[in-house]
């Protein structure tokens, strides 16, 4: 539902479930953008580094 003011679009009314789904999609896109930026900046870990971190974290 689009609300108008003086004949121009002023606001959009959507149900809560659709709003929440939209927010979740936006958050996921932000995480993807961050991951892509980290890849470009060389801020990555090898599989072995990740395995070591997991083992270190859960064997203490």
- pLDDT score of 27: 99
Whether pTM > 0.85 for this model: the answer is: no
- pLDDT score of 60: 76
Per-residue pLDDT tens listing for the chain (60 residues) = 999 999 999 999 999 999 999 999 999 999 999 999 999 999 999 999 999 999 999 997
Residue numbers of the domain that contains 52: 2-58
CA distance 4 to 10: 5
Q: How many domains does the chain have?
A: 1
CA distance 49 to 60: 17
- pLDDT score of 36: 98
- pLDDT score of 5: 97
- Helix (H) or strand (E) holding 12, with range, is strand 8-12
């Amino acid at each position: 539902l689009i609300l108008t003011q003086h004949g121009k679009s002023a606001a959009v009314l959507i149900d809560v479930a659709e709003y929440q789904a939209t927010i979740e999609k936006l958050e996921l896109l932000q995480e993807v953008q961050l991951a892509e930026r980290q890849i470009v900046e060389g801020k990555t870990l090898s599989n072995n580094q990740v395995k070591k971190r997991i083992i270190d974290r859960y064997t203490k």
